[in-house]
Amino acid sequence: MRLSIILLFVVFTVFVAGCSSQSGSSRVALKQIDRDYVDTVNRQATVGGVDVYWINPPQKEKNED
């Protein structure tokens, strides 16, 4: 009985320690559409007579200005 209580305590401690270590890695990455690249591709496509439809536009890290 005593061994099972100690084992339960150890498992609980490891679980709590694992959850608390994940809080720092869950920050949200701030991203924005890379307008320079999108505009360049759209301009070249227009000259070439091609229509471009962006499903997943390229992104870059957002400046913190």
Q: Give residue-wise pLDDT tens across range 13-59.
A: 877 776 665 555 555 668 899 999 999 999 999 999 999 999 999 99
Residue 38 counted as domain residue: yes
d(CA 28, CA 11): 30
Residue 1 counted as domain residue: no
Residue 12 counted as domain residue: no
Total domain count, the chain: 1
Q: How far from the centroid of its chain's Cα atoms is residue 42's Cα?
A: 26
User: Exposed (0-12), middle (13-18) or buried (19+): which is 41, by Cβ within 10 Å?
Assistant: middle
Q: Name the residue range of residue 45's domain.
A: 29-65
Q: What pLDDT shows up at residue 20? A: 60
Residue 51 counted as domain residue: yes
Residue 33 counted as domain residue: yes
Residue 36 counted as domain residue: yes
